[in-house]
Amino acid sequence: MTYFFQLVVSGIVVGSIYALAAIGFVLIYKSSRVLNLAHGQLIAAGAYITYTLTVYCHIPIYLSFVLSMILMFFLAMSVERIFLRRLIGEPIISVIMVTIGLMSIIDGVIYLTPYGSENLSFPSFLPSQPIVFQGIYISYTQVAGVVITFLLIGVFSWFFRKSTVGISMRAVSDDQMASMSIGISVPRVFGLAWATAGLTAAAAGGILGNIVGLNFDTLHAFGIIVFPVVILGGLDSLPGAVAAGIIMGLIQQFASGYLDGNWGLSGTASLLPYIVLLVILLFKPHGLFGTHEIERV
Amino acid sequence: MKTKKISIWLVVAAAALMLAAPGSAMAGEVYKTALSLAITGPTSDAGNPYSKGVEDYFRYVNDMNLLGDDTVDCTIRDDKYETAITKRNFEEFLDMGIVFYLNYSTGSTLALKRDFEEVEMPTLPASYHAGNIEGSDYIFLPIASYSAQNIGLAEYVVDHHEGGTPKVAMYVHPSAFGREPVKDVEKAIEAGLDIEIVETVEHGQDLDVTGMLQRWRSKGVQYVISQTVQSPVATMLKGANILGLVAQSFGEKGKITFLGAHYTGGNDLVALAGDAAENFYWTTSFITTSESSAGADAQLDLAERYGRDEKTANSHNYAAGILVAEITTEVIKRAKAKGKEITRENLYKELLDMNGMNAFYSQTAVGPVTYSKDDQQGVDTLQLYVVQDGEFRAEGKPFISEYPEKIK
């Protein structure tokens, strides 16, 4: 059973990071119906800002982590203001193309810095010895990652259910015209959605960087890796992103632990999440928790 | 009067021309070479210091007049690890009239193999894939192939393992770069190398490989040989460290000893994996700056001379860049010494003559560079290193793996 529970623990750790990264996609899609393909680049930018503040500005890592989230909040808000605000009302495909352009711009900017071609790791700030419970191992960094992820997910859930701004964002997501008619500033909500997504990207980048190290290829590819999670959960559902993240994490670990290397199977840990995704989409085309819209004509 | 003035001007102009003429003759020849590689994009963590090694060594050659009045003009272009760009770069280099070419990735070397043959261009890639030289007369590997490195690691395991046949897992990159050396290790096993490959895993972009490590533990894997790049190895080592699986000494019972070929190791691995990199065994044909040697001093001096940062100065990829620039310079020097014109054909002949008494000794490699019609692999010698206190330390003497000859 230790074998099984070790896989469960690892699956939850990986899944919660997927969930945090997926939330960034959901926040933007939920308010503006735009799929931000540059989210992986925002994750990488967040990780490198945290690293810069920690290593070069000698700010304690937990403070750097918070500062990085604040910086990314304003950076993502600026991105929306400069590049995307003027596209409100334009076809969605145009906006998605802009996010692809944004992806290239952020890639280019990071490649101009030494971070684009260097491998780095955060200075250790937690004990390196793992926690061992009943033969199950987990590192302090992984525990911190999971705790921060669930903390942020809790905050966002409260924000969308209870705060005025959060409720405005949900209203815009439901119906932009109706929202405008009751005085909600739709452009402001879009800006806020991008800003919040930037904040979650910084959090995901910081946690990811601490767990796997800082390699630009790995970090920005994460935006694509997490894509099945977003689709599985339902593009506009926060609980869906969390559930799908954990499901994907567990599927990968179980596939790796029980299927790969047996019966001539190999690579199922990478393949199985996509198969599960396809099967679920056959029965639930809007994902596990996505909004099923009915349009009456 | 006017005719006299014109005559004086003509005399002055002729004198000026005569003075200038010997000067231009003394300016010497410029030999054009080129390098296309990933300075940005995937694998740029290796490409970036590699390009600096090439650039710095050629600057040194020109600054120190190592080729007399002649100079080397090496054009370096970023191809972002995209074969289409490499091909375009190469075609432009041909138009520029290069006499020697330095390439980078496995994919582009395999894709451009026919081009190199057609234009008879002597080429040194940064990829040590054995398949690069199959069916090619013009591609020369600077050091031992990945196959030789992986077999060398397997031989080391056999020589130092206690009790029965060692159980080995191969952890490889999902490409020809990762897969092909496994086939050669399997051939070595058929030829008598006493290891059992329990599993070969082609990694993905995993955040966590606990499932794989747990599986290996349950199957009794004792050694893992990696043929990939640093990032996935760092993820694996971190996972193994959390699970308490890393052997603290070579072959420690109940634990796993992790080993890897050229691109898995170096300072970047320590930068990514931190403490989890301790006791990782790595083989390459290059010296490291963490071990004191004349070659290490030369490498650090060159980096300092051209203002490189500490990380570049200590990179084995910087050393690899220096080596290919050294080989290029050496063949030009030898052709010049024989009074030959510097052409692709003559430089190719000089490469083929680089053996026996004519072997070339580079300061950044652990053995001599030798090439011939039947040997397109430069430095055959390998050195094993192990990470101790965050630095790669030499383990034993340099060696040449035996089985690559047996499975030819």
Q: What is the pLDDT of residue B5?
A: 62
- Which of B143, B112, B222, B126 has its CA nearest to residue B177? B126
- Which of A83, A44, A65, A47 has its CA nearest to residue A194? A83
Per-residue pLDDT of chain A (297 residues; tens, 9 = 90+): 788 989 999 999 999 999 988 988 888 888 777 888 889 999 999 999 999 999 999 999 989 999 999 999 999 999 888 888 888 777 888 888 888 999 999 988 998 888 888 888 888 778 878 888 888 889 888 898 899 888 888 888 888 888 888 888 888 877 778 888 888 888 888 899 899 999 999 999 998 888 888 888 888 888 888 888 888 888 878 888 889 999 999 998 898 888 888 887 788 888 888 888 889 888 888 878 777 766 666
Do the domains spanning B30-144+291-375 and B147-284+384-406 agree at the CATH topology level?
yes
Distance (Å) from the alpha carbon of B48 to chain A's nearest alpha carbon: 7
Size of interface A-B (CB pairs under 8 A): 130
Q: What is the spatial distance between Cα B323 and Cα B138, in angstroms, rounded to a whole number?
A: 18
| Amino acid identity for residue A225 in this structure | I
What's the CATH code, domain B30-144+291-375? 3.40.50.2300
| Amino acid identity for residue B164 in this structure | G
Of the partner residues A17, A121, A124, the one whose CB lies closest to the CB of residue B207 = A17
What residues does each domain of chain A span?
Answer: 19-227
What residues does each domain of chain B span?
Answer: 30-144+291-375, 147-284+384-406
Share of chain B above pLDDT 70, in %: 93
Those of residues 127-186 in A touching chain B at CB distance below 8 A are 128, 130, 132, 137-139, 142
For residue B70, the number of C-alpha atoms closer than 13 Å in the C-beta half-sphere is: 14
Axis crossing angle, helix A140-162 with helix A238-254, rounded to the nearest 10: 150
Q: What is the pLDDT of residue A264?
A: 78
Q: What is the pLDDT of residue A149?
A: 86
- Angle CA B112–B109–A213, to nearest 5: 140
Give the mean pLDDT of B291-317.
95
Under the banding of pLDDT at 50, 70 and 90, the label for residue B17 is low
Does the structure show a pLDDT above 80 at B24?
A: no
Q: What is the pLDDT of residue A295?
A: 62
Of the partner residues A212, A253, A270, the one whose CB lies closest to the CB of residue B210 = A253
Q: What is the pLDDT of residue B10?
A: 56
Pick the CATH number of B147-284+384-406 from 3.40.50.300, 3.40.50.2300, 3.30.565.10, 3.30.70.1230: 3.40.50.2300
Under the banding of pLDDT at 50, 70 and 90, the label for residue B6 is low
How does pLDDT run across A72-117, given as a tens digit for each residue?
A: 999 999 988 888 888 877 788 888 888 899 999 998 899 888 888 8
Distance (Å) from the alpha carbon of A238 to chain B's nearest alpha carbon: 22
Q: What is the pLDDT of residue A296?
A: 65
Q: What is chain B's mean pLDDT, rounded?
A: 92
How does pLDDT run across B52-88, given as a tens digit for each residue?
A: 999 999 999 999 999 999 999 999 999 999 999 999 9
Give the mean pLDDT of B271-277.
91
Share of chain A above pLDDT 90, in %: 24
Cβ neighbourhood burial of A87 (10 Å; 0-12, 13-18, 19+): middle
Sign of the alpha-carbon dihedral angle for A115, A119, A123, A126: positive
Q: What is the pLDDT of residue B25?
A: 44
Secondary structure (DSSP) of A69-98: HHHHHHHHHHHIIIIIGGGTTS-HHHHHHH
Q: Which residues, 6+ apart, have CB-to-CB distance to B313 below 8 Å?
A: B289, B299, B300, B303, B304
